[in-house]
Amino acid sequence: MAISSVNSEIGGNSSLPRKIGTSEWFLIDQARINKFADATEDWDPLHVDPQWCREHGPFQTTISFGFLTLSLLTRLTQQVVRDCSELNHDGPGYTLNYGLNHVRFVAPVPVDTRIRCHMTLIESQERKPGQMLQRFGIIIEIEDQQRPALTAEWLGLRVTDNAGGSRTAAAEQE
């Protein structure tokens, strides 16, 4: 397994880590928080009850679920990857979600606050022919706040038709 400097997978001899990009701002409003509460059946008043928060909550307002913020990584990073010509794979293959490392919920995201994602390619490693494991650094910034909402490492497994059969079979062998 050779660790590459982004080599043929994203074409170049750039050094790592390397900033990939930043998403647009994304609003976290109460309607989105409530939909997440309904989807997860978690109606904690810290997230869904503004009156309770004003009277009893540590932040005097509702806050996003940490897992809601985490679940938005797909939405936020899709834009970054789409806008990054080096990671915008037009050829055969697909990047599979391979998991997360070191997820930390650093600061709460108050309702009606905007967040955005900063994405960095930390490592790109060929696992076997047709499979490239990429490790991305993720920081979710909260507008006008010094501390981020979330930090994580996100793994993506790029599987191409060169993976020895179907992409699904290649991923299942892991």
Q: What are the pLDDT digits (tens) for 122-155?
A: 999 999 998 999 999 999 999 999 999 999 999 9
Of 169 and 50, the structure prediction assigns the larger pLDDT to 50
User: How confident is residue 87, by pLDDT bands cut at 50, 70 and 90?
Assistant: low
Q: What is the residue-averaged pLDDT of the chain? A: 86
Q: Is the pLDDT of residue 31 over 80?
A: yes
Q: Is the pLDDT of residue 167 over 50?
A: no
What is the reported pTM?
Answer: 0.82
Q: Is the pLDDT of residue 11 over 70?
A: no
Of 67 and 7, the structure prediction assigns the larger pLDDT to 67
> Across the chain, where does the E strand assignment appear?
3-4, 18-22, 26-28, 94-105, 113-128, 131-142, 150-159
Burial degree of 32 (CB within 10 A; 0-12, 13-18, 19+): middle
User: How confident is residue 86, by pLDDT bands cut at 50, 70 and 90?
Assistant: low
Q: What is the pLDDT of residues 52-74, one digit of tens each?
A: 999 999 999 999 999 999 999 99
DSSP assignment string, 109-140: -BTTEEEEEEEEEEEEEEEETTEEEEEEEEEE
Q: What are the boundaries of each domain within the chain?
A: 3-28+64-172
Query: What is 3-28+64-172's CATH number?
Result: 3.10.129.10
Question: How far, in Å, CA of 69 to CA of 96, rounded?
Answer: 20
CA atoms within 13 A on the CB side of 149: 28
Question: What pLDDT score does 172 carry?
Answer: 58
Torsion angle defined by CA atoms of residues 73, 78, 80 and 83, in that order, rounded to the nearest 10 degrees? 180
Backbone angles phi, psi at 134, to 5 degrees: -115, 135
The CA-based angle 40-46-50, given to 5 degrees, is 110
Question: What pLDDT score does 88 carry?
Answer: 52
